[in-house]
A and B are shown apart, each in its own frame.
Chain A
Amino acid sequence: MSVQTILITLFALLIFSFFIGRKRSIAVSTPVGKTGGRRNLHSRPHYYGYMVAIWAGIPALLILALWTSFNSSIISSLTVSGLSDSLQSQSKDAIGLMMNEVKNLAESGNIAAESDPVLRNAASHYQRLQGISTLAKTVIVLVVSLLGMLIGWRLISPKMRARNKVETVVRWAMILCSSIAILATVGIVFSVLFESVHFFKAVPPSDFLFGTTWSPQTALREDQVGSSGSFGAIPLFVGTLLISAIALIIAVPLGLMSAIYLSEYAGKRFRSVAKPVLEILAGIPTVVYGFFAALTVAPFIRHWGEAIGLSVASESALAAGLVMGIMIIPFVSSLSDDVLSAVPQSMRDASYGMGATKSETIRQVIIPAALPGIVGGVLLAASRAIGETMIVVMAAGLSAKLTINPLEAVTTVTVQIVTILTGDQEFDSPKTLAAFALALGLFVITLLLNYVALHIIRKYREQYE
């Protein structure tokens, strides 16, 4: 049976065990010839049902999960060990390649058509093992489930504290669920760090951090020209900063002024319309912004730049930065809105009482008071801009040029990660691994920015609470 069928069967078994558990609990608690036995039970009958279902389900599911995740690697190694010694002594890559062929052959279902007898034998061996494994898995999982059901069923007695047991299991399940956040972070750090360490074995960290040329193409042949592979990340980080800076130059004034107007001047009705409209900007997928940048904004800027005699690259940093700025306006405005409204009314009243106009109050009292919060918000927006991918992938360039001229094409960290990792990857070449080193840099920078920003905002909030 396939995993799906096993799961469906298991599910049916679980429902069945719930009902027999419930029924049994009523049966064991009712003295012969009487009714209303459930009042003798420690827990309500359905808890006994859940308990039996848990016994029937959890061990079986665990076995199924483990079996499925280790199945392919074990069968592969068994198939390899079935090969002749001379084949086994090949390099790891050659064996991997051959195993791929064997697997494809076995799955194509047409083994007899293959001309190479070695492959044919291996494929039928593989197929046989696969069949045995599937059969064994089905049998074992279902037997374990039935056994669990039996144990749970036998455990039922009126004094049995079924509710407490079920609740403990649910509680542990909840703890497990909440630990997934930790697992995910560990997974990210592990995956990025692990490959980065490999990368830094091939390329010294100083070359990566302080080098000024980025051309990750490594030579396929010894005599190839111009593809020695150099991994200086400075141009990428400068490009990222350039585009993010343009975005912030646009988003911060617009977002901040919008927030000030909305929170200090606008009437309730205008606010209730304008705020959601502004937030639409944050809900539009980034790929749409990328398309807009590449198709409309970039040619527009190029056209006007040429009209006043400037040479503008068709994938200028300005276009990508401008569109990214539009995207992060709502982040800046909603974060600033929060901090502005956290400034106590008494400070405003005091300022008005001294005869200040509204704008004077805002500029000389509210903004200084809210400044740490605003800075925090800007930092959050900056981390968003640095990590943004689709806009730059579609609208920024690919060539790593070290420049701060916004009219030229630059590339960014995220663009390079995407270009390197889209399509085929070879996890033994520094080129693929470089993407992981870049991602490590990205991860560290955005995390630091976020940490600092949240720290500032929290500190600031405490000040007025």
Chain B
Amino acid sequence: MSKTTKKIEANLKKRYAKEKRFRAYGVVSLLISFAFLAVLLVTIFSKGLPAFQQTYIKLDIELNEKILGINKDSDEDALFSASYSKVVKNSLKEMFPGIKGRKQKRALKNLVSKSAAYDLRDKVLEKPTLLGTTQSYWFLAKDDVDVFMKGNIDRTLPESDRRIKDYQLAWIDKLMDEGRLEKRFNTVLFTEGDSREPEQAGMRGAIVGSLLTMLVTILLSFPIGVATAAYLEEFAPQNNRWVDLIEININNLAAVPSIVFGLLGLAVYINIFGVPRSTPLLGGLVLTLMTLPTIIIASRAAIKSVPPSIKEAAIGLGASRMQVLFQHTLPLAMPGILTGTIIGMAQALGETAPLLMIGMVAFVSDIPTGIFDPSTVMPVQIYLWSDSPERAFTERTSAAIMILLGFLVLMNVIAIVLRKKFEKKW
């Protein structure tokens, strides 16, 4: 063996070790990235899952006509405005007699959500003959009770550190012994709008708001995006100043931070055109500009991938260029265009920052019914809830995130299926 070969061989082990190390760096960085993703998802899911259950409390309500001041012959207005919270309170008092002091009295009332009175009112309105009888109903429990029932309050802590005091614990224990506390599937989360009371707060308003906003966005951005892409790919003259300007500006739009679009919405849409604030219409107008680049870029790629032979064959048979576009190119490019559109929509669905500027952070408890109603959207609802101090809202925030992620997964699955099913290799 020559001297050089020896030297190289001596070095070889070191070099191989280095090779292994380098490879390991790659694996480790991938693993770290995956670990981040896993931690993120596990945290959200473990926090959010309990929110899909809600504690209910069973009360025996005496629908005392005297206390309510109404009877079954009263007109609807009287039935509507009677003080149902009083009978709910009385029912609690009966169950736990001998409560002294204002603090404890208030605590007793706060076992049950304020929505109990409204539930009761709806039941009586539906069936006035209930008046004068005693009925047992399940009502939403107050958020503190709910948090306790989910094991998030440690009863071994000293009383002063707990949100639930000893006497409240005794009540809850007694209710549990009697089978009057129960965790059920949380339908409120899907059927109600936002509320200041955690146990009454639901996502329905935000979901409907998001859908309306997405509707406006897709109705505007899809035709505009596809028309732009088709023009740029099929008709635009080469080396034309105007066309170059369009291309530069599409790239600009893709690069601008999303928050700047919010300022555009504020200064141009609201202040100049007078588009009503906080509405899905306004949100959709702002998000349209943000999704346009995504749709245009995807559509251009899809249109470009349609083989020229098909277009030339159509032209050879006497079709005009517009006919080629609408009858051949666009239908063939449609799967790619739709995939791009869905991905753009998914981005828009998760977008928050620009919507904060245009008033979609307002507290809206009503479910929007049209694109001119004030509303909020899912990501903004998440932001709002994450800002609320109540412990129960943390849980709801995570649940809201799970719902939002569910929508996003659904959209992406549709995009993938579309791509897989219609993908053509020419």
| Chain A residues near B (Cβ < 8 Å) | 69, 72-73, 163, 167, 170-171, 173-175, 177-182, 184-185, 187-188, 190-192, 194-195, 253-255, 257-258, 260-262, 265, 274, 277-278, 280-281, 283-292, 294-296, 326, 329, 333, 357-360, 362-363, 383, 386-390, 393-394, 414, 417-418, 421-423, 425, 427, 435-436, 439, 442-443, 446-447, 450, 454
The docked-state distance in angstroms from the alpha carbon of A83 to that of B98 is 66
Distance in angstroms from B385 CB to nearest chain A CB is 9
Asked whether, in the complex, the Cβ of A329 is within 8 Å of the Cβ of B33, the reply is yes
| Chain B residues near A (Cβ < 8 Å) | 15-16, 18-19, 21-23, 25-30, 32-34, 36-37, 39-40, 43-44, 47, 223-224, 227-228, 230-232, 235-236, 242, 245-246, 249-253, 255-264, 266-268, 271, 273-274, 289, 292-293, 296, 320, 322, 346, 349-353, 356-357, 361, 379-380, 382-383, 386, 394, 397-398, 401, 404-405, 408, 412
**Given that A174-B235, A180-B224 are known contacts, is A439 also in contact with B386, CB under 8 Å in the complex?**
no
Across the two chains, which residue of chain A brings its CB closest to B351?
A285
Partner of B40, one of A178, A192, A284: A284
Partner of A177, one of B227, B274, B379: B227
Within 8 Å CB of B356, what residues of A?
A: 393, 418, 421-422
Q: Give 15 A-B contacts (CB < 8 Å), ordered by A residue.
A: A72-B274, A178-B227, A182-B245, A185-B253, A284-B350, A285-B404, A295-B47, A326-B33, A387-B257, A389-B352, A390-B383, A417-B259, A418-B259, A427-B271, A446-B256
Asked whether, in the complex, the Cβ of A258 is within 8 Å of the Cβ of B33, the reply is yes
Asked whether, in the complex, the Cβ of A265 is within 8 Å of the Cβ of B352, the reply is no
Within 8 Å CB of B37, what residues of A?
A: 277, 280-281
The docked-state distance in angstroms from the alpha carbon of A360 to that of B293 is 40
Distance in angstroms from B348 CB to nearest chain A CB is 10
**Given that A171-B235, A188-B260, A286-B353 are known contacts, is A257 also in contact with B36, CB under 8 Å in the complex?**
no
Asked whether, in the complex, the Cβ of B273 is within 8 Å of the Cβ of A69, the reply is yes
Across the two chains, which residue of chain B brings its CB closest to A355?
B8
Q: Is the interface of A mostly helix, strand, loop or mixed?
A: helix
Distance in angstroms from A95 CB to nearest chain B CB is 17
Distance in angstroms from B233 CB to nearest chain A CB is 11
Distance in angstroms from A311 CB to nearest chain B CB is 24
The docked-state distance in angstroms from the alpha carbon of A423 to that of B361 is 8
Within 8 Å CB of B379, what residues of A?
A: 285, 287, 390
Within 8 Å CB of A388, what residues of B?
A: 257
Within 8 Å CB of A258, what residues of B?
A: 26, 29-30, 33
Distance in angstroms from A375 CB to nearest chain B CB is 17
Asked whether, in the complex, the Cβ of B19 is within 8 Å of the Cβ of A357, the reply is yes
Within 8 Å CB of B263, what residues of A?
A: 188, 191-192, 417, 421, 435-436, 439
Across the two chains, which residue of chain A brings its CB closest to B47?
A295
Within 8 Å CB of A173, what residues of B?
A: 227
Asked whether, in the complex, the Cβ of B43 is within 8 Å of the Cβ of A296, the reply is yes
Within 8 Å CB of A72, what residues of B?
A: 274
Asked whether, in the complex, the Cβ of B382 is within 8 Å of the Cβ of A442, the reply is no
Partner of A184, one of B249, B255, B350, B386: B249
The docked-state distance in angstroms from the alpha carbon of A178 to that of B353 is 26
Distance in angstroms from B148 CB to nearest chain A CB is 20
Interchain residue pairs A-B with the least CB separation, the first 4: A387-B257, A261-B26, A285-B350, A191-B267
**Given that A258-B30, A418-B259, A442-B259 are known contacts, is A170 also in contact with B322, CB under 8 Å in the complex?**
yes
The docked-state distance in angstroms from the alpha carbon of A288 to that of B385 is 12
Asked whether, in the complex, the Cβ of B353 is within 8 Å of the Cβ of A389, the reply is yes
Distance in angstroms from B187 CB to nearest chain A CB is 24
Across the two chains, which residue of chain B brings its CB closest to A446?
B257
